[in-house]
Amino acid sequence: MATTYSANDEKKGNNLFLTLVRFRELSIMIIILLLVILVSIRNPAFLSIENFRDILLNISILVIVALAQTMVIITRGIDLSVGSMIGLVAMMVAFVTVSFPEMSPLVAVLLGMAIGSCLGAFNGFLITMGGVPPIIATLGTLSIYRGLIFVYSGGQWVNSYEMPDGFRALAKGAPLGIPNIILIAAVVAVLVHLFLNFTRPGRDIYTIGSNPDAAKVAGVNVTRTTFMVYVISGVLCGLAAVLWASRFESAQTNTALGFELQSVAASVVGGVSILGGSGSVLGVVLGAFLLGIIENALTLVRISPFWQLAAQGLLILTAVIVDSAISRRLQRFGGES
Amino acid sequence: MTSKQSLGDFFKRWEWLLVLLIFLVTIVNARLTPYFLDTRNLMRATSDFMELGLMMLPMVFIIITGNIDLSVASMMAMCASLMGWLHMQGTNIWVAMAAALLLGLLAGFLNGYLVARVKLPSLVVTLGTFAFYRGMAYALLGDQAARGYPESFTFLGQGSIGSIRFPFSAVLFIIFAVIFSLILYKLKFGRYLYVIGNNEEAGFYAGVNVVRTKLLIFMMSGFMSALAGIVLAARFGSTRPDIGTGLELAVITAVVLGGVSISGGSGTMIGAILALVLIGEMRFGMGLINIPGQGQNIVIGFLLILSILIPHVGRELTSGNVKVNKAMVGKTAVALIMIALFAIFFFWSRTLLIA
Amino acid sequence: MNDKIPVIRMRHVSKSFGGVHALKDVQLDIFSGEVHALLGENGAGKSTLIKVITGVHQPDEGEIDLNGERVYFNNPREAQHQGIAAIYQEPSLFPDLSIAENILVGRQPLRGGRVSWGQMNKEAGALLKRLGVDLNPRTKARNLSVAQQQMVEIARALSVEARVLIMDEPTSSLTSNEVDELFRITKQLRAEGTAVIFISHRLEELFALADRVTTLRDGEYVGTREMADVTTEGLIQMMVGRKLDDLFPKQAVEIGEVVLEVDHLSVNGAFKDISFKLHAGEILGMAGLVGAGRTDVARSIFGVKPATAGEIKIDGETVEINSPQKAMALGIGYVPEDRQNHGLILPMTIGDNVTLPMLDTYATKGWLNPKKEKAAAVEGVQKLEVKAYGIEQKAAELSGGNQQKVVLAKWLSTNPRILILDEPTRGIDVGTKAAVHGLMSNLASQGMAILMISSELPEVLGMSDRILVMREGLLTKEFDRSDATQEKLMMAATGTVEAALP
Amino acid sequence: MKKISALLLLVLMIGVLAACGSTEPAAAPTEAPAVAEEAAPAEEAAPAEESGSKTYVFVPKGLGIPYFDTANKGAQEAAAELGVAVTYTGPATADATEQIQVLNALIAQGVDGLSISANDSDALVPTGKDAMESGIPVVSWDAAIAEGGRNAHINQADAEGIGVVQVEMVSDLIGGAGQIAILSATSTAPNQNEWIEYMKTELEKPEYADIELVTVVYGDDEDEKSYNEAIGLMRTYPDLKGIISPTTVGIAAAARAVQDQERVGEVFVTGLGTPNQMREYVKSGAAPAFALWNPADLGYLSIYALNAIATGQIEGKPGDTFEAGKLGSYTIAEDGSVLLGAPTVFNIDNIDDFDF
């Protein structure tokens, strides 16, 4: 999947298969387009620039975390602890910023990423050195990290009035005309794309997910790469946590509760195979965008709040089924003898 | 391959380890608090875990086949909500209950169909229905709570038997635990579960009806979730659409702690039941010494990880496959240093605001 | 390069897994510019030895010298850096990656610090061209045939500029043209000074290619010979440790009634219009190249992939077989080609594997009866002389030959009237092979109808009463036992014009 | 050698776990008390075992919510005055199932009284009954346990009063005409649902004829969800003039959303909130006025009521009267509830007088 764009840089569209693969992201685009058309007929306010800015604002954090989740899923793992990591880092960073109000927001970001990397390292350690399956290790740290938030704060929240202005402006400020948080998410997406496609460690991630045994035999350092992926997941969650605390101007014991399932949903809707080995940044960004649009649209077309969750679940389910149907057909076209 | 073998051997011993742990926890609890070894108290605590237990039974089946069902708690809420909704419309409670069970079967069928026939990964399917079913619960009841169940019905959740007040829900659990154990060990259906978990394709070639088997276990899961929802509604005397939020992770935790391999193919029913008892005892014991829920979660989280980690390290030690390996020690050291740094920062920074 | 110093020199190498010796005091000398065959029955330790050389396993004892220098590989990476490359029996490609990346995995060319896809495709294309393979380097490995995958593996091995190239049964899934191609490349490499370690169960291949041969038996070193000095019998004796009387003990049997009749059977995209009759007591051989559709025919008869057109008749009655259960109920058994994935459930016990298809029979009123089950398993295992500690042993721990015996025991326990054997002796050592052939002959003489698919022509010729040949999804030719020869079969299978016949 | 390195690895692992989990030593239940200390540093010291002195437990809907922490302060104040011990413990999340587990453990310990804010008014009835049968008096506060499951309920303000005051506030803010919406907590929250009912009734009165309630949405008492819902409201209803959020999480999120969307002065937020949380928005004009009772007083009163019942001063029957320290004397009403008083309205004039 990810090889697509780059391969196309070289020679354009001379290969039927490549065009079809590109079609795979197209399928999400088509779903998005249909949804946009339908919703804007019901409520023209949907098409306003402000509304799209809101949608982008809302999905920025999800994009960052879903990209982290994607890298983990490509290696055939899963990181269920992302929500708890965000909560814990948000709380710790919030505590520090409240204690040192004059601290630069940039330091807060770096601090959050550093704390996140430690949490991710613990996950990676359990998985690579301890032989604990990813789903179990991160299910355990889901509880542990969430519990640590409470241990840490003793149940206190950090509220918006306690936070320094500089920190609050971190996510919301828009010195370049576009809110920082959207810019940061976009930069992360580009960096992850470059990392996955144009560095050896990035390619190793796909290699491991595609065939772990063969990767080991082929001389890929599976342990180190896997460890690294969980650390990256922690780092990106740390970044997301700081942005979260800044955007919502609070750190609570239940911050980002249940976010792990949202991030997995965004990845899966974005065409990342839960069986590992494939997935692209563009797909995941589109997947998160689709989820954002669904949530936004359900409010705008005034669906009863009681039906919103059901509709959301149904749409996600449909997206996954449609996507798998399309990709299965693609594989047949792809020339299976 | 050899690791699989010793894994199997290990799990034969795993149940004994659980028994030992339960024994230990009992002693410690009894020493820490005089209230622990009190029949009445134990019975009261028992009824808190029966819904979890009922949903755990089919989850053992599902995980043995290498699948997972994240939608159990949502199905539970949806079915209980349907029952409550019907009851409020004036339907006879027993009819409503039957409808809830039927809906459970249907919900399980949808999961099973998508997994077995459409061949989507169970994690993806049940992640979708996790949201969908929970949403249906809200759609049914909205901001209402269904209440006013007759006493004959609430007996299912609140009733007890004998002078020691043995909860009726526990009787229900025992009956189903026996049934599910018999299915697993005494019917070919049970053997098929292990076959599917180990090598689905070879099973298919040997005449195992893989599709039907998978469909059935997901339907069982739906049915038992509905039953758990009914018991919970009876225990509460009311139904709200948000009941049992997050319970799916507790169910999976119990199953994995019970020694069922998350990648499928191995595990026992008795192990899962023992794990349920262990978790129940530990939570009750910690509750008695007023450890808040978050603290309990940390302990259970570590227990879950250690239950896999310690046997793994033990195996590495005994198999002699561990090498003097600079890289390995290096990585361990890096992880260790990072975690140590985190710990230092954790304790230092919290002193800033909490005096 | 000095021939006196071997590229690889191994002495006293031992390795055990969980207390069981896989290698015991093994020695090996490989010189550059030679093709060195490694011979032994399944379980003799060939694969373990290779994995020690490539750094997948680390020896418990003993030493390895590379060009006279002591080495110790902690992992495959270190071995690769020293110029050791391997092609394993099972293709180990990355289905989600492109061919180019598969070839250059872990060594993607960098330009200015970033992976250069153009460079990568160019390098891979050049390698493929050198191999004479026409493949687009951008194609994903998922879409390749087995043979093409094998070629990519070879290209990968070439790309590391290997000093030592190890090939573990590279020919088992190749057609003869592809085998020729492989041999050509191998010889070319030898001429360039590469040391090649070659493993194959097909002795004729060794004679065609190898310079020297080292034999292992039960994890121990037996000896090294010049290929020119040995005979087939000699090799077999070294391998088995005794003389083998008869590899194809086919008894003459009276052919009975038609049991199975296949009429214009088709599966879209796999095969078309297949018609044949199978009689009681008959062994019907089915020859053809890999990918000719033979396995698809077997699978559709067994209901794994039901036919899209045509009829199957059993005892003259048309039946519809849409699942293996149905086929089993009709008395059909199928020993699949892929033993590890389709034949056995490796992590489960021998007993569980043997009784699986007929669990109902071992149940009383629906409840499984462990005693009956055990008795049946023990009986099946004993009848086939499976070498194991007991029926509680895991199938994964058995050697290939014994695994195949368990698969046979499993299917015989269903008392089939029609038995389909798909590559029944692939990857099995010579001793077990003879035993399997003996068993087939016996079963046929008891009136069982056997359809045998095999890519080994001597086996087809030696065991079959009649032989069908398939090519590209069509039935091209039928031979009687008496007038079939290796050449005729080959021509029918490859579609060489009739005029070429002598 | 191998064994040594393997051992080394094991030691490292244990070291790691010890380093990370030094306060929560995992599986070993023997060390569990250490967790208790660390896990609840805000919690008061364990119940004193002095003879004669009673130990009550003050149970919130969920731990880690400032509103309940503030209430606990009042409860502790009352405890000090009465010379009793009050423990503060509850479920990790605001969930009835978990709350019942906590309560069962408390009942098993035979505490002297329970003061509970219920996650589910019906679900807690059997548990409450069980407690009372075991001789443990039960008082609910903030969110009631249904009758039959408690001796008395301490009402922060009567539901109708809460509903009315919020409608009055919003009417004042938007000048008596225009579209308004309600941003509630979870759709199942009994308090909020009751208040919303009263608001709807109140809005039917002729003086509010020009006010249109367009919708009720739910932020689930999660900051992020509430924030997004509030933005969604403004987007969906461009003419929206007012948002009532009868929950402390929702009102702050809504006010911030108005600020972030730069709609201050066009959309007004009101409802129930705490002064500290809302100070900024009162000053900015996003939420010029809001109401709340003092949660500390609520906790304070509930402990006095509980103590009165537990010590046998009153039986908890309607008409019983008891003294509640600084708050004066209270009488149990016909439905078994005790009314704290009218809610305080906070605005720019008085906001700086409060700190909670």
- Taking the Cβ of residue A183 and every Cβ of chain D, the question of whether any pair is shorter than 8 Å is answered with no
Residues in C touching A194 (Cβ below 8 Å):
114
- Neighbouring chains of C at 3+ CB pairs within 8 Å? A, B
Q: Do B195 and C348 touch (CB under 8 A)?
A: yes
- When mean pLDDT is compared over A68-82, A300-314, C192-206, D264-278, the highest value belongs to A68-82
Token pair belonging to D84: 């009793």
Split at pLDDT 50, 70, 90, the class of A8 is very low
**Spatial separation of the C-alpha atoms in residues C215 and C224, rounded to whole Å:** 6
Number of domains making up chain A: 1
Instruction: Enumerate residues 6+ apart whose C-beta is below 8 A from A62.
Output: A262, A263, A266, A288, A291, A292
Q: Tokens 């550093």: give the residue.
A: A114
The distance of B319 to chain D (nearest Cα, Å) reads: 9
In chain A, residues with a C-beta closer than 8 Å to the C-beta of D227 are: 248
Note whether residue C52 is domain-resident. yes
Type and span of the H or E element at C421: strand C418-422
pLDDT score, position C184: 86
Each residue of C113-127: pLDDT tens digit?
888 999 999 999 998
Residue with the bigger pLDDT between C240 and B229: it is B229
Quote the pLDDT of residue A298: 84
* Residue B195 pLDDT: 95
Bridge partners of D245, per DSSP, are D271
- Indicate whether C495 pLDDT > 80: no
Asked if the model's pLDDT at residue C45 lies above 60, the reply is: yes
Examine the pLDDT at A76 and tell me if it is beyond 90: yes
Q: Is-contact D89 D119, C-beta < 8 A?
A: no
Q: What is the CATH code for B16-296?
A: 1.10.3470
C75 shares a domain with C58: yes
Check if C98 contacts A (Cβ < 8 Å).
Answer: yes
Q: Does residue C452 form part of some domain?
A: yes
Same structural domain, C196 and C311: no
Chain D hits for A252, Cβ within 8 Å: 64, 223
In a domain, A215, yes or no: yes
CB interface of A with D, residues 77-136, below 8 Å: 122, 125, 129-130
- What average pLDDT score do residues B314-330 get? 66
| Confidence (pLDDT) at C397 | 82
pLDDT at D52: 56
Residues C393, C379 within the same domain: yes
**Which chain D residues contact residue A227 at CB under 8 A?**
none
**Contacts with A204 from chain C: Cβ below 8 Å:** 106
Q: What is the CATH number of domain D2-155+295-340?
A: 3.40.50.2300
Indicate the pLDDT class of residue C362, thresholds 50, 70 and 90: confident
C206, C240, C274 - which closes a domain: C240
Cα distance between residue D162 and residue D94, in whole Å: 22
Identify the band that residue B352 occupies on the pLDDT scale cut at 50, 70 and 90.
Answer: confident
What are D319's two structure tokens? 């008409």
Local structure of residue D272 (DSSP, 8 states): B
Domain count, chain C: 3
Residue D293, φ and ψ in degrees, nearest 5: -85, 170
Q: Is residue C192 exposed (0-12), middle (13-18) or buried (19+ Cβ within 10 Å)?
A: exposed
Residue A29: how many other CB atoms lie within 10 Å: 14
pLDDT-derived band at C18, boundaries 50, 70, 90: low
Strand C258-267 to C220-226 pairing = unpaired
Give the domain-ending residue among C399, C415, C431: C415
User: Which residues span the domain enclosing A89?
Assistant: 25-326
Note whether A233 and A68 are within 8 A (CB): yes
**What is the mean predicted confidence (pLDDT) over A187-211?**
94
Burial class (CB in 10 A: 0-12, 13-18, 19+), C313: middle
The tens digit of pLDDT for each residue in C63-102 reads 999 888 898 888 888 888 888 888 877 667 898 899 999 9
**Are residues C393 and C282 part of one domain?**
no
Q: What is the mean pLDDT of chain C?
A: 86
**φ, ψ for residue C373 (rounded to 5)?**
-60, -50
Better-scored residue on pLDDT, A155 or B193: B193
Cβ A241 vs Cβ A86: under 8 Å = yes
Domain assignment present for C103: no
Q: Where are the domains of chain B?
A: 16-296
Of the residues D224, D258, D282, the best mutation for testing chain A's interface (the one with the most A CB atoms within 10 Å of its CB) is D224
- Of residues C431 and A274, more confidence is placed in A274
Q: Are B167 and B159 contacting, i.e. CB atoms less than 8 angstroms apart?
A: yes
Banded pLDDT at C213 (limits 50, 70, 90): very high
Range scoring the smallest mean pLDDT among A180-184, A250-254, B316-320, C435-439: B316-320
Q: Within this chain, do residues C172 and C186 fall inside the same structural domain, yes or no?
A: yes
Q: Assign domain D159-292 one CATH number from 3.40.50.300, 3.55.40.20, 3.30.365.10, 3.40.50.2300.
A: 3.40.50.2300
- C-alpha D194/C-alpha C376 separation (Å) is 70
Which residues constitute the domain of residue C397?
A: 345-415
Answer yes or no: is A14 within a domain.
Answer: no
Residue A15, chain B, CB below 8 Å: the answer is no
Ordered by start, the domain boundaries in chain D are 2-155+295-340, 159-292
Is B204 within 8 Å of C324 when comparing Cβ atoms?
yes
Q: Are residues C363 and C297 in the same domain?
A: no
What residues of chain D lie within 8 A of the CB of A154, using their CB?
40-42
Domain CATH for C269: 3.40.50.300
Distance CA C91, CA C146 (A): 8
Output the pLDDT for position C87. 84
The residue whose two tokens read 């920025």 is: A60
Same-domain status, C179 and C42: yes
Question: Tokens representing C169?
Answer: 């049964």
Decide which of A150 and D244 is more confident. Answer: D244
pLDDT for D219 equals 87
Contact status, residue C423 vs residue C415, Cβ threshold 8 Å: no
Supply the CATH number for residue A182's domain. 1.10.3470
- Per 3-state DSSP, chain B is made up of helix, strand and coil in percentages (nearest 5) of 75, 0, 20
Report the alpha-carbon angle A42-A45-A46, nearest 5.
Answer: 75
Going by their DSSP bridges, the two strands C8-17 and C61-66 should be labelled as: antiparallel
Cα of B8 to nearest chain D Cα, Å: 22
Q: Which D-chain residues 266-325 have CB contacts (< 8 A) with chain B?
A: none
Do the chains contact at C291 and A337, CB–CB below 8 Å?
A: yes
Q: CB–CB of A305 and D66 under 8 A?
A: no
Report pLDDT for A137: 95
d(CA C290, CA C145): 10
Overall average pLDDT of the C364-391 stretch: 87
Query: Is C343–B1 a contact, with Cβ atoms under 8 angstroms apart?
Result: no
Residue C386 pLDDT: 86
| Low-confidence residues of chain D: pLDDT under 70 | 1-52
- Say whether pLDDT at C14 is over 70: yes
| DSSP line for C33-53 | T-EEEEE--TTSSHHHHHHHH
Radius of gyration of chain B (CA): 22
The answer as to whether A9 is a domain residue is no
ipTM entry: 0.83
CB C333 within 8 A of CB C452: no
Position C42 scores a pLDDT of 65
Q: What would the pLDDT profile of C279-315 be if each residue is shown by its tens digit?
A: 999 999 998 877 788 999 999 999 999 999 999 999 9
Same domain, C361 and C386: yes
Q: Which residue has the higher pLDDT, B95 or A25?
A: B95
Residues C406 and C420 in one domain: no
Both ends of chain A: CA-CA distance in Å? 21
Which 3 state secondary structure label does DSSP give C475? Answer: strand
- Does D223 contact A300 at a Cβ distance shorter than 8 Å? no
Is there a contact between D69 and A172 if contact means CB atoms under 8 Å apart? no
- Residues contacting residue A191 through CB under 8 Å, at least 6 positions apart: none
pLDDT of C465 > 90? The answer is yes
Residues of chain B with pLDDT > 70, as a percent, come to: 93
DSSP string, C262-292: EEEEEETTTEEEEEEEEETT-EEEEEE-TTS
Say yes or no: C61 and C175 in one domain: yes
What is residue B30's predicted lDDT score, i.e. its pLDDT?
A: 87
Q: Would you state the structure tokens that stand for residue C230, as one six-digit string?
A: 């040995």
